[in-house]
Chains A and B, each alone.
Chain A
Amino acid sequence: MHGSRTTGSPYAPHTDDETAAMLEELGADSVDDLFDIPTAVRFDDEFGIEARTEREARALVESILESNDDLTELLGRGHYGYYVPSLVDHLADRSEYLTSYTQYQPEVSQGFLQALFEYQSMLVELTGLEIANCSMYDAATALGEAATLADRLRHTSGHRVLVPDLLLEGRRSTLENYVAGTELVVEEYPTEDAAVDVDALTDRVDEDVVMVYAENPTVRGTIEENLAAIGELADDADALFVLGSDPVALSLLQRPADVGADVVVGDASVLGLPTSYGMGLGLFATREAYLRQVPGRLVGVSEDATDRRAFTLTLQTREQHIRRERATSNICTNQAWVALRTAMHVACLGASGLVDLAKRDVTRAEELARRVDEIVGVKAPVHDRRHFREFVAHVDQPAQAVADDLEERGFAVHVVGEHEIQLCIAGVSDATLDEFVEVFEEVAP
């Protein structure tokens, strides 16, 4: 039965004897005979990739990544490195979760389906909207999907999508790619002191607008004060009001349902993932009225043959594998495992833990702004508004030089203008913030 393993892939379990017996069964002389590839397109060269032992492969990755500097990141602007409890890593890494596929056979996938159902429920609670899907790729692609949803719902009434001029380039550009196949046109509306300029927006909203997008908090960390007014403007024009946010902010700031939001998008992986070079989890919640037009997977409740409650993927006739070119989205592989991690992180925090975290995001950002404002050559915050998690500071010195000096001393910050840097407290300890202020005092003047 056993014998020496064939060399080659370390994860192919075949012994030489087994391979020979299987080939004999097939009447083939060698594995090569099984490849039905015309000679003209056969690859008879090598990739030039050396095979390595596990230890060597691991050492290679370690040695490459070793050249990354170990910096304390006061970075945010759409990606946040909150501390993730160990429980999340240990439980999400259980191999049943990690090595399963999309739940096409719900009878052997109950656990994952229930966890995703719980994730959807958490988003429903956080947004106040009736339904949430169980993931998009990230905030930018979720925004793109919101626009195509608006197009499906309102394509006869108009073609303009309004976004704030402060929108991150990666989001704006992704949105442009998503609407490239539609008649939609993306237009900017102005912000004033890092908040929506409602008068200017009013001038731009008319019957031709199908979607108005705003963010809370904004990319500059300010808390938007006019959400209800924006929601009304959108509603009057029969446009969808799409709000960008995230689970931490949503646990404290105005509830989207209460300000007239029709869709909430954003990055849910602020909880569940460490900074992972931009990897995310697209949050997508909306009203029940749009259920049949929603993109992405939905987990619903049903019963099994013994009448017990059971979970299953549902409304799959919206999806690409059934509806093909008439699907509501082309998404197939999504971010399910990240959604599991996010749900676990939310569960670890609980309602009070989550609200406390959000409150501290306000107090600690405002406290850091006060402290750096006392430094000679620094004014903070630049915007005279309430802040969440991050803020912009004016520096008298060229911002890039300040950032370079800070980086020399172990701190990464954003440069957002010639004399403006942005600082974020998410995931940074109080002790580290103390160190940062000391270093900043030396660098800024």
Chain B
Amino acid sequence: MTREGTRYDQARWTNDGQYEPLLSEKDRTRVEIDGDDSPLPDELTRDALELPELSEPELARHYTRLSQMVYGIDSGPYPLGSCTMKYNPKFTEDVAALPSAAVHPDRSAASIQGTLELMYRLQDYLGRIGGMDAVTLQPPAGAAGEFVGVRVAAAYHEHNGEGHRDEVIIPESAHGTNFATAALAGYDVVSMPSDDEGRVDLEALEAALSSNTAALMLTNPNTLGLFERDIIEIAEMVHDVGGLLYYDGANLNALLGRARPGDMGFDVMHYNVHKTFATPHGGGGPGAGPVGVAEELEPFLPSPRVRETGDDSENAYELFEPEHTIGHVHGFQGNWLVLVKTFAYIARLGDEGLTDASAKAVLNANYLASQIEYDVPYGPFHHEFVASAGDQDAADVAKRMLDYGVHPPTTKWPEIVPEALMTEPTEVESRETLDQLAAAFNAVVDEDDETLEAAPSRTSARRIDQTSAARNPRLSWHALEEETATDSSRTP
């Protein structure tokens, strides 16, 4: 890759020793609260509040400068494996911002028929896409969806007098959230190794299964981008011991219109709608993690859900409590604005667009895998693949890729592949961009450790010391000020 090629350099705002002052360094205004001009007696109020107080133009510049030191999918390719960072259409932001979308969650059903209809139709869309009989929209993120799925499974077993089932089986290569979720729900985690081809090892599964199995949590394609070809057999084995099969929807983008979790024998699944159906990730959220279930699990879904009233009146939709509901998993109804965007996106693409999205995502992953010089074990791939940095440190490779103007892949995970570079280009990258990405990989592959360790040099900040941040945690501007105060008191 030539250094003159299309590349991305970040804005760098410099201000002696720092990149952009903190708001608190621009201003600190202390407001005393006392009885004289307070509507409350002193004993019910705080003494004072100290926060920055800046004008609107000052704030506009502060937040604009900060934004210029952030890389987003609109800045360039962002092939973070398992995160499905795809381009997000702009019109979905506009529909989510409609005044009619902004309603209070305690409004009467009669006064928000539009909100309820949209939820009902989205439940229906998601059910069709996943091959599931019923869907709840309440979970506010994928991990929250996992939690709902596992809690629903627990309630189902309990209801059937099978409350003794206390184990959840999870492949070693699974998303970290699976393990954390199963533990949060009170289950013992039974970790299961992969076979030589990176897929579920049926013998290991057989050994892990027992009458204590509550569920197997699986993503398909798995985190190596490989389709679990033995899925029918896997489902049978799990069902034979009375367990349930849970589908982690993080990788659903690879399957849209090609295969459905419900048809493969999965009993419960979550959808990461912010990945599969394009809602901007917003620097880490909000997302939404609707959960779909087979018919026999429907009575256990969180409350409330939306259904048709079946009468001809104007009030066609209502909220209801499922018969054996696990109750709430969010104070109200989850991340509604994300659901509006999801609905709009699905309505835009339809069958044709959704099926093509997975086609292009899979084409792009396989094409990119074929163009890079790093070793890429296993295959064939669905929407992501895992390359190995070999003798290089994957984290250093990532830092160096930043210098070539692209966002690097997910690193060091899954651990099955040494020094993993987990790469997911999604369907939104052109061949030209994929070639740029490949050139960035291939430029780094021959570089020495010294070069890698010195990277990055063209980003707004240089390599950041993670160890110092953890060893000496300073998590607020108050902590920084205390540190400064302590330092100066030590100065002779």
Whole-angstrom CA separation of A258 from B49 in the bound complex: 13
Expressed in whole angstroms, the minimum distance between the Cβ of B178 and any Cβ of chain A is 8
Residue of A nearest to B272 (CB): A333
* A250 CB contacts on chain B under 8 angstroms: 46
- Report which of A36, A38, A322, A346 forms a contact with B51, defined as CB distance below 8 A: A346
> Do A57 and B74 form a contact, CB below 8 Å, given A71-B107, A124-B476, A350-B54?
no
* B125 CB contacts on chain A under 8 angstroms: 47, 49
Asked if residues A170 and B104 are in contact (CB atoms below 8 Å), the reply is: no
Asked if residues B102 and A223 are in contact (CB atoms below 8 Å), the reply is: no
Asked if residues B49 and A49 are in contact (CB atoms below 8 Å), the reply is: no
- Report which of A51, A138, A337 forms a contact with B348, defined as CB distance below 8 A: A51
Residue of A nearest to B379 (CB): A36
Asked if residues A49 and B33 are in contact (CB atoms below 8 Å), the reply is: no
Tell me if A120 is interfacial: C-beta within 8 Å of chain B: yes
Within 112-152 of B, Cβ neighbours of A (below 8 Å) are at 112-115, 117-118, 121, 125, 128-129, 131, 140-144, 146-147, 151
Interface flags for A66-80 (1: CB within 8 Å of B; 0: not) read 111111010101110
Expressed in whole angstroms, the minimum distance between the Cβ of A438 and any Cβ of chain B is 21
- Give the size category of A's interface with B: 35 or more
Asked if residues A412 and B461 are in contact (CB atoms below 8 Å), the reply is: no
Expressed in whole angstroms, the minimum distance between the Cβ of B386 and any Cβ of chain A is 15
Most chain-A Cβ atoms within 10 A of its Cβ — which of B17, B53, B88? B53
Expressed in whole angstroms, the minimum distance between the Cβ of B145 and any Cβ of chain A is 10
> Do A91 and B64 form a contact, CB below 8 Å, given A22-B367, A49-B128?
yes
> Do A41 and B67 form a contact, CB below 8 Å, given A22-B367, A181-B184, A304-B464?
no
Whole-angstrom CA separation of A65 from B344 in the bound complex: 12
Asked if residues B40 and A49 are in contact (CB atoms below 8 Å), the reply is: no
Tell me if A431 is interfacial: C-beta within 8 Å of chain B: no
Whole-angstrom CA separation of A40 from B354 in the bound complex: 21
Residue of B nearest to A21 (CB): B431
Whole-angstrom CA separation of A320 from B118 in the bound complex: 33
Residue of B nearest to A302 (CB): B469
Whole-angstrom CA separation of A355 from B183 in the bound complex: 42
Whole-angstrom CA separation of A68 from B317 in the bound complex: 12
- Report which of A22, A107, A140 forms a contact with B399, defined as CB distance below 8 A: A107
Tell me if A329 is interfacial: C-beta within 8 Å of chain B: yes
Asked if residues A8 and B478 are in contact (CB atoms below 8 Å), the reply is: no
* B410 CB contacts on chain A under 8 angstroms: 104
* A171 CB contacts on chain B under 8 angstroms: 328, 331
Whole-angstrom CA separation of A22 from B31 in the bound complex: 64
Whole-angstrom CA separation of A60 from B92 in the bound complex: 12
Expressed in whole angstroms, the minimum distance between the Cβ of B21 and any Cβ of chain A is 10
Asked if residues A96 and B71 are in contact (CB atoms below 8 Å), the reply is: yes
Whole-angstrom CA separation of A102 from B32 in the bound complex: 37
Tell me if B89 is interfacial: C-beta within 8 Å of chain A: yes
Whole-angstrom CA separation of A339 from B10 in the bound complex: 23
Expressed in whole angstroms, the minimum distance between the Cβ of B298 and any Cβ of chain A is 18
Whole-angstrom CA separation of A65 from B189 in the bound complex: 44
Asked if residues B111 and A71 are in contact (CB atoms below 8 Å), the reply is: yes
* B97 CB contacts on chain A under 8 angstroms: 89
Tell me if B207 is interfacial: C-beta within 8 Å of chain A: no
* A274 CB contacts on chain B under 8 angstroms: 102
Whole-angstrom CA separation of A286 from B19 in the bound complex: 29
* A335 CB contacts on chain B under 8 angstroms: 140, 285-286
- Report which of B74, B328, B462 forms a contact with A177, defined as CB distance below 8 A: B328
Asked if residues A38 and B229 are in contact (CB atoms below 8 Å), the reply is: yes
A-B complex: 3 closest residue pairs judged by Cβ atoms: A278-B332, A8-B356, A181-B186
Given contacts A107-B464, A314-B469, 12 further A-B contacts (CB under 8 A): A41-B231, A77-B106, A116-B283, A130-B478, A135-B285, A181-B185, A252-B33, A306-B462, A320-B180, A333-B274, A334-B141, A352-B29
13 A-B pairs with CB atoms under 8 Å apart are A10-B349, A10-B353, A52-B347, A61-B344, A65-B115, A102-B284, A112-B66, A138-B330, A138-B332, A168-B331, A171-B328, A279-B335, A279-B336
